[in-house]
Amino acid sequence: MLTTRTDCLARDAADPLAPLREQFDLPAGVIYLDGNSLGARPKAALARAAHVIAHEWGKDLITSWNTAGWFDLPKRLGDKLAPLVGARPGEVVVTDTTSVNLFKALAGALSLQGEQPARKVIVTERSNFPTDIYMAEGLSSWLDRGYQVRLVDSPDDIAAALGDDTAVLMLTHVNYRTGYQHDMAAVTALAHEHGAVTVWDLAHSAGAVPVDLNGANADFAVGCTYKYLNGGPGAPAFIWVPQRHHAQFRQPLSGWWGHAAPFAMAPAFAPTDGIGRALCGTQPVVSLALVECGLDVFAQTTMAAVREKSLALTDLFIALVEQRCADHPLGLVTPREHARRGSQVSFTHPHGYAVMQALIARGVIGDYREPAIMRFGFTPLYTSFADVWDAVEVLKQILDDEAYDVAAARGAVT
């Protein structure tokens, strides 16, 4: 029995998350399937920014570091984010960028070996988001102790790549191109069996899929707040370290925000207890404060409800594309198996770049990733079942009419 647009409207009417869409500002005439790259704007963000700028900065000036709680923002927002990723209070800080936090997390993972590290290899996937690999390369080549990065070509190759030489298994939980989701608990257990420590990048997981870092007995994690968490463009990232590693881990970006007594102004560094030692320097308060607006929307639902709708949306998108665009050379890249799927769907097409540009021109915003991959993100807080229908309808029209310009020059790809 084929799905109709009327069916989609009925599912929207029955969707318990549908009212949350009202809390986001989305332009008219746009179907936004790129929340996996930059989340939509919570309406509350505008008033929050105005308050921080006009009142906290403009009127209260320097006193706002204390009175408005600016100093505590990284930890307070971290505690608010914690339930979304299976973290305890006091285990997460929102700070710096994902890349910088990954550097800290990798260094922290290496530091658990103590002064005489016997294990020198960081294992990761060749298909990982490149900056993760770059940061691992940067850290390992600089440390000059024979550290190296070992790349594997497929999730199936991870087990064989782990050995007595492996210090860290660094993985992105949900792959940015394919939407493949690792089994965090099983892979972490595998790493631990080989004596390795895990570092998980949750850029495409936090707010997208249920994550249980402590349940999986993971070791370190970092993530992004500007994608599914809707924190705003380039909003500060987060880093998680479980309590069991707090006393032991060290990281070289040892700035004053990670000091036990930052205002004592002592010339020797002494790391603070707990997650605070993952902090470094003064944070961009306006951007940081806006992260809370996105988290406040998540506080009104559960990741279980988000996941249920996410799978319904991605199942529907896959089914409709395969039904309605069956005559076209589209290849599903994202796993059909629910447990292995994130909250995006990627299809290849020989002219994927041109087709995506045509979609964007008609108001269906996805994005493109080499090679030939059209990427569609599904964000249950503000994407409807009717959006899915309408997006596939536009895709079908473009493909049926060959209404895309293969010769068009490629601009910068975001």
Closer residue to its own copies, CB minimum distance, 13 or 266: 266
Amino acid 390 reads D
Closer residue to its own copies, CB minimum distance, 188 or 334: 334
Residues 81, 238: contact at Cβ < 8 Å? yes
Q: Residue 91 CB, nearest distance to its own copies (Å)?
A: 22
Q: Burial-class residue 85 by CB neighbours within 10 Å (0-12, 13-18, 19+).
A: buried
Q: Residue 45 CB, nearest distance to its own copies (Å)?
A: 6
Which of 375, 382, 396, 404 is an active site residue?
375
Which of 48, 80, 227, 341 is an active site residue?
227
From residue 160, alpha-carbon distances to 106, 171, 187, 217 in Å are 21, 15, 12, 21
Q: Residue 159 CB, nearest distance to its own copies (Å)?
A: 21
Closer residue to its own copies, CB minimum distance, 151 or 332: 151
- Residue (of 38, 9, 48) closest to 386 by Cα position: 9
Decide if 378 is catalytic.
Answer: no
Whole-number Å distance between alpha carbons of 181 and 202:
10
Closer residue to its own copies, CB minimum distance, 49 or 403: 49
Which of 34, 79, 96, 201 is an active site residue?
201
Decide if 126 is catalytic.
Answer: no
Closer residue to its own copies, CB minimum distance, 1 or 268: 268
Whole-number Å distance between alpha carbons of 52 and 314:
37
SS3 annotation, 242-280: CHHHHCCCCCCCCCHHHECCHHHCCCCCCECCHHHHHCC
Q: Residue 256 CB, nearest distance to its own copies (Å)?
A: 4
3-state secondary structure of 102: helix
Q: Residue 92 CB, nearest distance to its own copies (Å)?
A: 18
Decide if 375 is catalytic.
Answer: yes
Catalytic residues, which ones?
129, 201, 226-227, 375
